[in-house]
């Protein structure tokens, strides 16, 4: 991760899940923009840029998380979206991947799992940006060479 603080859109209707995820992310030096529903998430998307979005499948009244996922995918192919799904909703997990989610975490959220998924998604985003700029993300300073 760079020294620049990365920004995450956190759209989740469940207050307890949203607050715990927001607290965890802030403690890990992420800037978090919380949204409670589809409409508030859309307003944030119109006024801010985000490195990553974490979106609940159920956003309360109005359009749900899958509509927001489609909107996010249409707006930016390289911005990763992680979905939060209920533990017993296998169909939601499969739908999230079919619609382009980078990953899915299940409720109840486990801090280590959420951070691992976010770090992996942001690493993938960095690799996509590097490839698009002409760099090879597979080449690192730590690679060893073998003399022939």
pLDDT for residue 76: 81
Phi, psi for residue 2 in degrees, rounded to 5: -80, 170
pTM: 0.82
Q: What is the pLDDT along the chain (148 residues), one digit of tens a residue?
A: 445 899 999 999 999 999 999 999 999 999 999 999 999 999 999 999 999 999 999 998 889 999 999 999 998 878 999 999 998 889 999 999 999 999 999 999 999 999 999 999 999 666 655 565 665 555 444 444 344 4
User: Could you tell me if residue 74 is left (phi over 0), alpha (psi between -120 and 50 degrees) or otherwise beta?
Assistant: alpha
Which domains, and CATH codes, for the chain? Answer: 7-132 (3.40.50.2300)
For 75, counting Cβ atoms within 10 Å of its Cβ (0-12 exposed, 13-18 middle, 19+ buried), the class is: exposed
């Amino acid at each position: 991760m760079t020294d620049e603080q990365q920004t995450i859109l956190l759209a989740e209707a469940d207050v307890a899940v949203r607050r715990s995820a927001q607290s965890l992310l802030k403690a890990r030096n992420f800037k978090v923009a919380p949204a409670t529903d589809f409409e508030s998430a859309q307003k944030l998307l119109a006024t801010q840029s985000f490195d990553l979005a974490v979106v609940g499948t159920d956003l309360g009244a109005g359009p749900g998380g899958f509509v927001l996922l489609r909107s996010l995918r249409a707006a930016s192919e390289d911005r990763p979206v992680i979905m939060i799904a209920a533990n017993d909703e296998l169909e939601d997990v499969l739908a999230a991947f079919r619609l382009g989610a980078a990953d899915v975490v299940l409720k109840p959220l486990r801090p280590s799992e959420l951070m691992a998924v976010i770090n992996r998604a942001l690493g993938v985003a960095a690799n996509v940006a590097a490839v698009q700029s002409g760099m090879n993300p597979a080449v690192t300073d730590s690679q060893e060479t073998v003399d022939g």
